[in-house]
Structure 1
């Protein structure tokens, strides 16, 4: 489905079945104008991984500290062995 309003705002969305999980994947986008006339846009996918939006308007988190990145890399390179009960 899709629509466009008189002020130029618009939205569209489509979906498809995900094979082999049998779930659905929805993708869409929306555009709108703020009271000052600034244009905004968001695109998204919603599937078995969750809701995944992308937009220049979304905040970007701080970078991951180097020490944490090194720790993650070490943990990935040295997985714990599973213990059997």
Structure 2
């Protein structure tokens, strides 16, 4: 739990140094972790910066963290990011995040074919 409190303090520090003026915290909800390791928190500033996160132990897979944050970019675009962190890494979604181009059909057919082959036995 100490790690998460340190993360919150780091986030608060980051919010304080963003921009020319200091943001004022207008919402700060923090729910202490439960005995099973679950937690949640949310924070919002007067400059419409918002971040919320929740986490829990996901069986043998370990800690699962889900959350979102939102702010207004200098160009006026509202940036909203949904994220999830689990045993497979960090995954973020947002309209502003670039996506890779589609896989060309010939390469996809080759990948599909390779997936049907048995695994090699010569380690």
Calculate the TM-score normalised by the size of structure 1: 0.87
**Which has the higher relative contact order, 1 or 2, with Cα contacts under 8 A spaced 6 or more apart?**
1
Cα deviation code 1:46-82 (max 9, x no counterpart) = 0101001111110011111111101011111222452
Extract unaligned runs of 5+ from structure 1: none
Greater helix content: 2
Aligned positions, number: 83
Query: 2:86, 2:57 → 1: CA distance?
Result: 10
Query: 2:98, 2:92 → 1: CA distance?
Result: 11
Q: CA RMSD in A?
A: 1.6
Given candidates 53, 64, 72, the residue that maps to 1:33 is: 72
Extract unaligned runs of 5+ from structure 2: 1-40
